[in-house]
């Protein structure tokens, strides 16, 4: 079993592909979209202790902590929670790994929301956070600010050698891992730039601007807005469409048809019947959108909000056995079918 606050889709798929069970242990507040809480990405410490005691330490090869918690609305994890989870892991001699895709944004949220960190730089906060772990996975397309690539870190020399041996077989030599030199250089620069406070301040403010403007008009979102994206609560937006008719897919389609806005479903299509929320993620590209772009997105969302009752549910026509949402094919249900569900 691999505990996480909330596994992202590809992380969950890799865990399950090798026969392990991916367990989500986010705090209760993290499952309530409209509830405001400064650190909704936190892991439930008591639940982690209970799981380890129930299944035994030998069945838990590692604990993961996703910062920020992408599948839970881009919500941050507090340093207090990091310390508590690390203490549990060290008590049971279980490695703690970070899914560190958005570590810089998480560090900035700690700076502005957690007492005692207001005078520390995002870099200092990130360094402290990583000091409590044993390794991390990183998709550098996020807070690496690169076009492609990523890396795996560990403080276990024996494990590192095993990883290097496997890397040569599957990707390339350890010094480049299958990446071009320019991409390695972009990651090296991007990891530092992503921690610049002025960049983080502007990015977080832009995301909040989008979220607050649509929320003020009644659009239900995950509160408070996350760091890299605004997440619309599709179940609340389209209450007449049940989860098995994929309300978030229906909403994402409508946003694209209305204004060419590309978003992604994080819900029943992605996670199946175990999904507790159906969200539409509006991820904001770095250093791409102007203020007028954001205002256009607000305008389109509000147009769709006005005609939400006309939106129809979706039905699957094709799904793959793993990560079905990447290649699934769906089509709108007949209008009368949605009307029947509403009645």
Q: What distance lies between CA 192 and its chain's CA centroid? A: 21
pLDDT at 82: 98
Is residue 305 within 8 A of residue 232, CB to CB? The reply is no
* pLDDT of 9 higher than 90: no
Mean pLDDT of the region 122-143:
96
Least confident residue range of 102-106, 123-127, 269-273: 269-273
Residues for the chain: how many in total? Answer: 343
Please state, in angstroms and rounded to a whole number, the distance separating the CA atoms of residues 308 and 233. 13
Task: Take residue 278 and report the two structure tokens written for it.
Answer: 């159906």
Phi, psi of 52 (to 5 degrees): -65, -40
Whose structure tokens read 């040569």? 168
pLDDT at 201: 94
Domains and CATH numbers, the chain: 2-195 (3.40.640.10), 198-342 (3.90.1150.10)
pLDDT at 339: 63
Please state, in angstroms and rounded to a whole number, the distance separating the CA atoms of residues 309 and 38. 32
Sign for the CA dihedral angle at 114, 120, 125, 131 comes to negative
Please state, in angstroms and rounded to a whole number, the distance separating the CA atoms of residues 52 and 49. 5
Q: Note the pLDDT tens digit of each residue in 290-309.
A: 889 999 999 999 999 999 99
Mean pLDDT of the region 188-195:
96
pLDDT at 73: 87
Please state, in angstroms and rounded to a whole number, the distance separating the CA atoms of residues 198 and 205. 11
Sign for the CA dihedral angle at 162, 9, 111, 80 comes to negative
Burial of 318 (0-12, 13-18, 19+ CB in 10 A): exposed
- Determine the number of helices (DSSP H) and then strands (DSSP E) in the chain: 13, 11
pLDDT at 336: 65
* pLDDT of 322 higher than 90: no
Is residue 108 within 8 A of residue 124, CB to CB? The reply is no
Q: Note the pLDDT tens digit of each residue in 74-118.
A: 999 999 999 999 999 999 999 999 999 999 999 999 999 999 999
pLDDT at 245: 95
Read off the pLDDT band of 325 (50, 70, 90). Answer: confident
* pLDDT of 256 higher than 90: yes
Residue partners of 267: CB distance under 8 A and separation at least 6: 234, 243, 246, 247, 248, 275, 277, 278, 279
pLDDT at 22: 95
Mean pLDDT of the region 146-156:
94
Please state, in angstroms and rounded to a whole number, the distance separating the CA atoms of residues 269 and 130. 33
* pLDDT of 341 higher than 70: no
User: Mean pLDDT, the chain, as a whole number?
Assistant: 93
């Amino acid at each position: 079993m691999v505990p996480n606050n909330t596994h992202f889709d590809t992380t969950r798929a890799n865990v399950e592909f090798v026969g392990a069970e991916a367990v989500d242990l986010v705090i209760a507040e993290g499952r309530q979209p409209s509830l405001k809480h400064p650190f909704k990405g936190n892991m439930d410490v008591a639940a982690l202790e209970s799981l380890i005691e129930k299944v035994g330490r030998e069945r838990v090869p590692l604990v993961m902590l996703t910062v920020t918690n992408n599948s839970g609305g881009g919500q941050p994890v507090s340093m207090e929670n990091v310390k508590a989870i690390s203490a549990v892991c060290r008590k049971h001699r279980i490695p703690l790994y970070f899914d560190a895709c958005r570590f810089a944004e998480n560090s900035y949220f700690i700076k502005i929301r957690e007492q005692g960190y207001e005078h520390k730089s995002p870099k200092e906060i990130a360094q402290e956070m990583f000091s409590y772990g044993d390794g991390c996975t990183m998709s550098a397309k996020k807070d690496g600010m690169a076009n492609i690539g990523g890396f795996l870190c560990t403080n276990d020399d024996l494990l590192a050698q095993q990883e290097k041996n496997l890397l040569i077989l599957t990707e390339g030599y350890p010094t480049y891992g299958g990446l071009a030199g320019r991409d390695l250089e972009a990651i090296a620069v991007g990891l530092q730039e992503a921690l610049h406070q002025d960049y983080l301040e502007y990015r977080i403010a832009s995301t909040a601007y989008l979220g607050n403007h649509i929320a003020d008009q009644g659009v239900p979102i995950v509160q408070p807005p996350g760091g890299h994206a605004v997440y619309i609560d599709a179940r609340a937006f389209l209450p007449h469409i049940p989860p098995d008719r994929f309300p978030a897919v229906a909403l994402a389609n409508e946003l694209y048809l209305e204004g060419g806005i590309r978003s992604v479903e994080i819900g029943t299509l992605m996670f199946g019947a175990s999904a507790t929320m159906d969200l539409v993620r509006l991820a904001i590209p770095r250093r791409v959108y102007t203020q007028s772009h954001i205002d256009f997105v607000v305008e389109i969302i509000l147009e769709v909000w006005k005609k939400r009752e006309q939106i129809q549910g979706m039905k699957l026509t094709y799904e793959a056995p793993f990560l079905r949402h990447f290649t699934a094919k769906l089509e709108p249900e007949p209008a009368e079918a949605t009307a029947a569900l509403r009645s």
